[in-house]
Amino acid sequence: MSEQNNEGHSGRDRVVLAYSGGLDTSVAIGWIGERTGAEVIAVAVDVGQGGEDLEVIRQRALDCGAVEAYVADAREEFANEYCMPALKANAMYMDAYPLVSAISRPVIVKHLVKAARQFGATTVAHGCTGKGNDQVRFEVGITSLAPDLKCLAPVRDLALTRDVAIDYANEHNLPIATTKNNPFSIDQNVWGRAIETGFLEDIWNEPTKDVYSYTDDPTYPPLPDEATITFDQGVPVAIDGERVTPLQAIEEMNRRAGAQGVGRIDIVEDRLVGIKSREVYEAPGAMALIAAHQELENVTVEREQARFKKTVGQRWTELVYDGQWFSPLKGSLDVFIDDTQRYVSGDIRLVLHGGRATVTGRRSEQSLYDFNLATYDTGDAFDQSHSRGFIEIYGLTSKLAAAREAAADGTAAGGTAAGGAE
């Protein structure tokens, strides 16, 4: 992390800007300064999006007019504190989307607020539009951590459209490539990659090959790849017997599952702001790890606890999608989910092939699966004579209700017949 002190502060208001190093946020540095009179501090946070070195991005921010630049390598932090809770929750918005962008915003928010405190800023700015979810995630997150800070969105609040940004960059000779040809809006991190806009906005159009980067075409896959993932209390700790950190586990499964085309997602998504949006995602590591984690839970989590956890996990997912990472309810649900992971330890064998991650083996010292109870062969320890009485008691309330319905129907039929005889 690059840290600067606050010496030499000019006394002008300061704005902390979430800085990606790309065209829009590079232009936003000067744009904000011209329209607000404030100094701009650029904040770049690496959550595994790849691309340029942080120091290159830091220097570009300074060259574009930032008075300070704060950069942070948050990859391990993101994997440990944001991806792993999502994995424990089996977080899949609309049963399909593993919260690729949604879980990255809170860690960026955390560093934006830290930088605002460090450099004496009164406002935090982000590059989101007024149509998306991210504006909510950034601003609700910021005000949840620092209620005194103000929020600014140059694209939404200061009319910084892409055409304006390109013209501004050219006029001011900013050190950033400008083009009107890239049809997609892309957000990526170690947990996955999100692609939208361009021809994808016509929901009949099929994604073309150039949409994808994290995954290879599953139509012609290489030979099947077998992986054994070891979990300890819901967290992957080894792959094929080799110890890994959460970040290493995600990166390794991104590589191996991505090579098999695992984790391509194409959905029409219900955005928080009330519109439907076509979204294409790639999340090979996330989808493979979630598949393994869910199956290990099937082996190790008690039935009623598992049923209720599905409800909790869905609510957790909705809260995070809706920008409520720092909310009291989400914090309470975290406690429940962590408690369910107490016995989620063991090994899951996955076969990765042709776009699928298929579980083929499970083993755990904490398993609730009892072979002697489950088997139909000699040695069966399940006393089947108990089942008759269990069924009688289990069905008693429905039986009584059915008898009442039958009696009521008979009374009604009798009354009609009697009336017709008069």
Q: Which residues are annotated as a binding site for L-citrulline?
A: 97, 133, 137, 185, 269, 281
Beta strands 68-73 and 39-46: pairing type?
A: parallel
Question: Residues annotated in the binding site for L-aspartate, as ranges?
Answer: 129, 133-134
Neighbouring C-beta atoms of residue 40, cutoff 10 Å? 27
Task: Report the distance separating Cα 66 and Cα 62, nearest Å.
Answer: 5
User: Which contiguous run of DSSP H or E holds residue 351?
Assistant: strand 346-353
Q: Is 315 a catalytic residue?
A: no
Beta strands 14-18 and 39-46: pairing type?
A: parallel
Task: Report the distance separating Cα 355 and Cα 376, nearest Å.
Answer: 35
Q: Is 185 a catalytic residue?
A: yes
Rg (alpha carbons) of the chain, rounded to whole number = 27
Write out the DSSP string of 104-167.
HHHHHHHHHHHHHHHHT-SEEE----SSSSHHHHHHHHHHHH-TT-EEE-HHHHS---HHHHHH
Question: Residues annotated in the binding site for ATP, as ranges?
Answer: 18-26, 127
Residue 208 is given by DSSP the state P
Q: Is 24 a catalytic residue?
A: yes
Given the residues 14, 24, 46, 193, select the one marked as catalytic. Answer: 24
DSSP E strands in 140-282: the ranges are 150-152, 185-189, 192-196, 225-232, 235-239, 242-243, 264-270, 276-282
Q: Comparing C-alpha atoms, which of 237, 351, 240, 366 is closest to residue 298?
A: 366
Given the residues 105, 256, 264, 278, select the one marked as catalytic. Answer: 105
Burial of 296 (0-12, 13-18, 19+ CB in 10 A): buried
User: Which residues share a beta bridge with 235?
Assistant: 232
SS3 237: strand
Question: Residues annotated in the binding site, as ranges?
Answer: 18-26, 97, 127, 129, 133-134, 137, 185, 269, 281
> CB of 346 within 8 A of CB of 337?
no
Q: Is 240 a catalytic residue?
A: no
Given the residues 73, 117, 156, 185, select the one marked as catalytic. Answer: 185
Neighbouring C-beta atoms of residue 97, cutoff 10 Å? 22
Given the residues 46, 101, 104, 134, select the one marked as catalytic. Answer: 134
Fill in the amino acid letter for 283: A
Q: Which residues contact 407 (CB under 8 A, 6 or more apart)?
A: none
What is the CA 385 to chain-centroid distance, rounded? 48
Task: Report the distance separating Cα 162 and Cα 185, nearest Å.
Answer: 11
Neighbouring C-beta atoms of residue 4, cutoff 10 Å? 14
Inter-CA distances, 368 with 298, 361, 373, Å:
9, 15, 11
Fill in the amino acid letter for 52: E
Task: Report the distance separating Cα 310 and Cα 99, nearest Å.
Answer: 16
Q: So which residues are the catalytic ones? A: 24, 105, 134, 185
